Amino acid sequence: MATTYSISDLAREFDLTTRAMRFYEDMGLLQPERSGPGGRNRVYSGRDRTRLKLTLRAKRLGLSLTEAKEIIDMYDSPRDTGLQLEKFLQVLAQHKKQLEEQMADLQANLDELKVHQREAKALLVKSKSKNTEAAPPATAKAPTAKSAGNTVAATATRKKSHAA
């Protein structure tokens, strides 16, 4: 007798949720038999397990579920395997091109980020050197309370004269 699997068995084996398994079934990627009262229990075959494995591999390669189904369905049909392999190579080439374009965009972003980073570091060094030049010598006396009070009084007098 052929090995069968429950939805929980396959979900656990492939680290999926049972909801994901049902979604793949709705997409036509899996076709479990039904058993139990009212056909409530799904019984997956070895073929379903293989199709699930291929679906997950296609997903990792960046294929959509529709593309994965199309390719996997080709293997179920009695057609020439040469056509199946040509289609698979075509889809892979398309995804490779897309990934290479994304990598080029990422590299451009990374290069731009490096330029901004160098500019910011240079400005920071320049800013720090200006601050150390403008700082008073360490021997200068701190203002006294009396001189600070005179500054406040002078400011208040200026404000009154401008208001008048």
Element at 49 (helix H, strand E)? helix 46-60
Residues 49 and 99 in one domain: no
Q: Are residues 48 and 89 in the same domain?
A: no
| Alpha carbon separation from 138 to 39, 81, 132 (Å, rounded) | 88, 85, 11
Q: What is the pLDDT along the chain (164 residues), one digit of tens a residue?
A: 689 999 999 999 999 999 999 999 999 999 999 998 888 899 999 999 999 999 999 998 888 999 889 888 877 766 667 777 888 888 889 889 999 999 999 999 999 999 999 999 999 999 988 887 766 666 655 555 555 555 555 555 555 555 54
Q: CA 12 → CA 6, 9, 20, 73, distances in Å?
A: 10, 5, 12, 25
Range of the domain at 108: 78-134
Q: What is the pLDDT of residue 155?
A: 52
Same domain membership, residue 58 and residue 108? no
Same domain membership, residue 51 and residue 97: no
Q: Are residues 59 and 82 in the same domain?
A: no
Q: Is the pTM of this model over 0.75?
A: no
The span from the CA of 43 to the CA of 25, in Å, is 12
Domain assignment present for residue 115? The answer is yes
Taking the C-alpha atoms of residue 38 and residue 147, their distance in angstroms, rounded to an integer, is 95
